[in-house]
Amino acid sequence: MTDVPARPPLTELAEEEQMFRDSVREFAEAQIKPLVHPMDIEGKFDVRLLRQFFDMHLMGIEIPEVFGGTGCSFFMSILAVEELSRVDASAGVVVDVQNTLVNNAIMRWGNEKQKSKYLPQLASGKLGAYALSEAGSGSDAFSLQTKAELRGDYYVLNGQKLWITNALEADLFILFATVDPSQGYRGITAFIIERNFPGLSVGKKEDKLGIRASSTCELILDNCEVPRENVLGAVGKGYKVSIETLNEGRIGIGAQMIGLAGGALNYGIQYAKQREQFGQSISKFQAIQFQIAELATELEAARLLTYNAARMKDATIPFVKEAAMAKYFSSRIAEKVTSQVIEIFGGYGYTKDYPAEKYFRDSKIGKIYEGTSFMQLQTIAKILLGDK
């Protein structure tokens, strides 16, 4: 009998992937790490890093080379988000939104004219944002109230969007509005909106608990004029654009969570080796050893879930359940890891002089944005139970 070759571990990387991961890690350690604390305190992302992201080709990872991107895999985007988030989750989410939401939406749903116009911009210097949420439509995303009225060659949009990541710096927005509120989700339509379109303005920037350097703002649409040709996909199909894009985006959030959890745990291990109590480093105490071992095991499980979902997406295998599992479990483990790392640091972990408390603050958002943990559980249950 011939032995069946064992499937390589999901965390085993091809040479190209390994080199890419290492280059992003080196960049994050050298260029982002010195800026993490001041960006967190000021609540502002250093625009010099944005330019470096583009120079390193991190903002168009999946965009085909013909449009100025690198033409790499979705998995490579996940590696980039993970490695950046090991140092700063705010940096990770900037790259995540660009690649897994904005670029993916245009690559999948854009027509050739839209792709030719916008993908080169997104690959070379234009930052994107994804505008779905509103004050009254969080988990119930399709109860949105922003309206789009066709007037000749333009749609005129009126409404307000909230919690929009990258909004302060963004040049392009994938924005959702309804052309007919009476049609429910069948009226929702996706639009590509440029920052300089008349009637669009960026409003209040939120003062957040975590990922403070990442801008989160409201968008105000006051008779905003959007050319008819900027409908993304088709009129009334925005719900499909949104659902299918967010399925991919959730894997990106999983990557952000395993990245920041890994960064926090690494600090915890280093500190445990250095901190001495009762004549020896605290890493010699079994309680600390078991705590670290358990956290590392659960983090590895979260990484496997995330990598598996990303590999499935690249292989065009249905991955909705796996994406939901990856986001749900990774955000849960990130909160646990970062919380217990604070305890390893003891009193120092509760101060801003050490990075543990920031990792903890940054982890909380993982259970909230791009679908709460309860929504992920609902998705998983529906698929397992065969509910429509």
Active-site residues, by number, are 370
Widest CA span of the chain, in angstroms? Answer: 79
Helical axes 74-87 vs 286-314, angle rounded to 10°: 150
CB 223 within 8 A of CB 213: no
Comparing C-alpha atoms, which of 221, 220, 201, 226 is closest to residue 150?
226
Q: What angle do CA 326, 272, 12 make, to 5 degrees?
A: 35
As a whole number of angstroms, the distance between CA 349 and CA 352 comes to 8
Which parts of 274-350 are beta strand (E)?
A: 276-277, 280-281
Q: List, as own/partner pairs, every contact residues 273-277 make where C-beta atoms lie below 8 angstroms and the sequence separation is at least 24, other chains included.
A: 275/346
As a whole number of angstroms, the distance between CA 85 and CA 97 comes to 13
As a whole number of angstroms, the distance between CA 29 and CA 91 comes to 12
Comparing C-alpha atoms, which of 230, 238, 226 is closest to residue 149?
226
CB 331 within 8 A of CB 258: no
Query: Other CB atoms closer than 10 Å to residue 86's CB: what's the count?
Result: 27
- In b/e form, how buried is each residue of 370-383, taking b as 16+ CB within 10 angstroms? bbbbebbeebbeee
Q: How far, in Å, are 101, 117, 371 from residue 106 at the CA level?
A: 9, 10, 21
As a whole number of angstroms, the distance between CA 266 and CA 272 comes to 10
Which parts of 111-199 are beta strand (E)?
A: 128-131, 147-151, 154-165, 172-178, 188-194
